[in-house]
Structure 1
Amino acid sequence: MKKLIAVILSLSLAVMSLAGCGAESAESSAEATKENPMVLTLAHGLSETHTVHIAMLEFAEKVEERTEGRIQVKIYPNGQLGSETEAMEQLMAGVVAMTKVSAPGLATYNEAYHSFGLPYIFDDTKDFYRIMDSSQMRDFFLSTGEDGFVTLTYYTSGARSFYTVDKPIRTPEDLKGLKIRVQDMKSQTDMIKAMGGTPVAMSYGDVYTSLQTGIIDGTENNETALTTGKHGEICKVYSTDQHAMIPDVMVMSAKVWNGIAPEDQKIILEAAYESTDSHKIAWDSAIQAAVEEAKTQMGVTFVDDIDKEAFREATSGMISEYSSTYPKVAELLDIIDSVE
């Protein structure tokens, strides 16, 4: 039923405009006015209380304010227009103008995005922000127009670590014999295999029950999953190996982007970057609150004495393999290495 509703809504939007704008929307920012604005639809699957949704609300407000109402962003949260994959397909088809996806999900359209699913390509959170905010990365984000989309900015989703019912994961050896849930991404299943565990790809919504029934022995995610997903009710050991930092990205249809005047593109990018800065602060607060709640109310133990070098060594072959298999991955990793 949900998928049927999404299809109906998508078709309705398509009738309104193949450029992802509203029925009364101007087709380009050059001809847009406050009375007849360029309306950009932004579809995503997050709740209205999620820190990324709140950051995108700030983005929308700043775009409208700074263009004096000529450009408006209309946000459809909660998967109203379909799943993350479906929203991206709609963007490529010209049904919606913008969406939010997990960065590796864009590898279908540009193989370089496989890079963001690889383990330990960032040293730590400080290194992650330094690279993601660099001019080199921003140039890369805007370089994919021929692939049908451009990335306006990113939002951190923290560092992903392992957590289990009762077993600390300090080295790859500790994963042997364990069934670990991962996102349905090639890089994630390859990573768990390289570390010696058994990957089990499943949707996030199935994780709680699967942990509860023993279908899986553990999973990996950032600390907020312990509280918002209630996983801390079952998993009592969180091992901070921080094997991956997978960003969310806000993308726009290249066709829509090309219909926006350069001065308005600048406004949109500045608003996007500022929303990212605001999100960093909100995210840090969310992580601190999640850790405190998990410790004091759920009885979760956080294990910090992790042999990260052993994990890096176990997965080092993945970097070489992906660089060889996907030339654009090698190019993006070179860009990452070039950031000073």
Structure 2
Amino acid sequence: MKMMTSLLVSGAVLAGTAAGACEITLRSADTHPAGYPTVEAVKWMGEQVKEKSGGRICIEVFPASELGEEKDAIEQTQFGVIDMVRASFGPFNNLVPETQVVSLPYIFRSSEHMHKVMDGPIGEEIAKGFEAHDLVVLGYYDGGARSFYNKEKPITKIEDLAGMKFRVMQSDVFVDMMSALGANATPMPYGEVYSSIETGVIDGAENNPPSYDTSGHFEVAKYYTLDEHLIMPEVLALSKITWDKLSPEDQALLQEVGKASVPVMRELWAAKVKESEAKVEAAGAQIVRDIDKAPFIAAMEPVYAKYVTTPELQDLVARIKATE
């Protein structure tokens, strides 16, 4: 009965829900808290959709994993229990092979390079892979650029990483990346990182500037190097089950406004990064901004050889690198 109730309030929902007189209410899930750039961008999208549809269509945003953790939210969206989801690419790596390629270290030269790739033909190609798993891509958001930070010394060149211990996510790619750079990977839960750095279990970790800031890790690891080894796109997707219930006009509207929400999210994210960098520097952290990434990129050759194993994926890597 509980599942049936959830199904009834998803997809095309009649008036009388929390959204008031809307004919259609779309429930959108996010793991990030209220105020986070992805959450605010989908709220902006909701305002635009409501205005452009004359109040017929509303989007109700549920932040902070209110509808479940990311993996559960994705599955519920695939089954139409939830209508929309903002998710990272990681959970799709084993489902959509192309997402594993854009999750490789140093595949993108910069955030701008990532945006051009994902907003162009390659992004459209990857979107087709999501459709095979009952998800319609509305746009690609920015998951930020992950970089190294540690408590010992500024990292200005690849040799500085030799023998150092870094926490990484539970990912074979990340473990292999650290090995290729001459460092030691220590997978562990995110919540254990602060105390592990403080007590010397690890020397440091890697993440984007807002996470480095909000986690308080800058208090125990004052050296942050912007090597940007992972620049991650994220996906905003609609359930195919919900999509099929919409009229062609409403489908076009959601595609239009979903695409328009992308630069809104990216602008909010860029502002958040600047804010966090300024905050940690004011607190005494040292940010190394100017490094030669070429040796770091060259060191990834065995990692790419291990994970880019088919002609199709090799071609995709070549096309990404060729994108200007």
TM-score, with structure 2 as normaliser: 0.89
Structure 2 residue 294 is the aligned partner of structure 1 residue 304: no
Change (3 A) 1:72 1:195: same
2:195 maps to which of 209, 212, 215 = 209
Structure 2 residue 320 is the aligned partner of structure 1 residue 336: yes
Structure-1 separation of matches of 2:294 and 2:322: 22
> Does the Cα contact within 8 Å between 1:232 and 1:300 map onto a contact in 2?
yes
Partner of residue 60, structure 2: 74
1:322 maps to which of 307, 312, 317 = 307
Partner of residue 226, structure 1: 212
Unaligned runs of at least 5 residues, structure 1: 1-10, 26-33
Structure-1 separation of matches of 2:298 and 2:8: 48
Structure-1 separation of matches of 2:119 and 2:11: 29
> Does the Cα contact within 8 Å between 2:99 and 2:126 map onto a contact in 1?
no
Q: Amino acid of the residue matched to residue 26 of structure 2?
A: L
Show the 5 A alignment for 1:36-55: 37-55=23-41
Partner of residue 15, structure 1: 5
> Does the Cα contact within 8 Å between 2:106 and 2:229 map onto a contact in 1?
yes
- RMSD of aligned residue pairs (Cα, Å): 2.5
Secondary structure of 1:246 counterpart: strand
Partner of residue 271, structure 1: 257
Unaligned runs of at least 5 residues, structure 2: none
Measure how far apart 1:206 and its partner are. Answer: 2.7
Structure 2 residue 157 is the aligned partner of structure 1 residue 171: yes
Change (3 A) 1:281 1:149: same
Summarize deviations over 1:177-232 as a string: whole Å, max 9, x none.
22211222332222222222222223333322222222221111111123211111
Summarize deviations over 1:222-259 as a string: whole Å, max 9, x none.
11123211111111101111111012211222222233
> Does the Cα contact within 8 Å between 2:147 and 2:206 map onto a contact in 1?
yes
Partner of residue 95, structure 1: 81
Measure how far apart 1:141 and its partner are. Answer: 1.7
Change (3 A) 1:143 1:65: farther
Q: Amino acid of the residue matched to residue 268 of structure 1?
A: L
Structure-2 separation of matches of 1:295 and 1:163: 13
Structure-1 separation of matches of 2:299 and 2:212: 26
Q: Amino acid of the residue matched to residue 78 of structure 1?
A: A
Structure-1 separation of matches of 2:175 and 2:262: 29
Q: Amino acid of the residue matched to residue 83 of structure 1?
A: E
Partner of residue 188, structure 1: 174
Percent identical among aligned pairs is 30
Structure 2 residue 109 is the aligned partner of structure 1 residue 123: yes
Q: Amino acid of the residue matched to residue 175 of structure 2?
A: T
Measure how far apart 1:21 and its partner are. Answer: 2.7
> Does the Cα contact within 8 Å between 1:20 and 1:91 map onto a contact in 2?
no
Structure-2 separation of matches of 1:14 and 1:212: 48
Q: Amino acid of the residue matched to residue 316 of structure 1?
A: E
Summarize deviations over 1:8-57 as a string: whole Å, max 9, x none.
xxx745533179437647xxxxxxxx956232221111110211111111
Secondary structure of 1:245 counterpart: strand
TM-score, with structure 1 as normaliser: 0.85
> Does the Cα contact within 8 Å between 1:19 and 1:256 map onto a contact in 2?
no
Structure-2 separation of matches of 1:168 and 1:333: 31
Change (3 A) 1:330 1:256: farther
Q: Amino acid of the residue matched to residue 166 of structure 1?
A: E
Secondary structure of 1:40 counterpart: strand
Summarize deviations over 1:291-322 as a string: whole Å, max 9, x none.
111111x2011113423111101112222322
Measure how far apart 1:334 and its partner are. Answer: 4.9
> Does the Cα contact within 8 Å between 2:107 and 2:321 map onto a contact in 1?
no
Structure-2 separation of matches of 1:214 and 1:192: 18
Partner of residue 8, structure 1: none
> Does the Cα contact within 8 Å between 1:14 and 1:20 map onto a contact in 2?
no
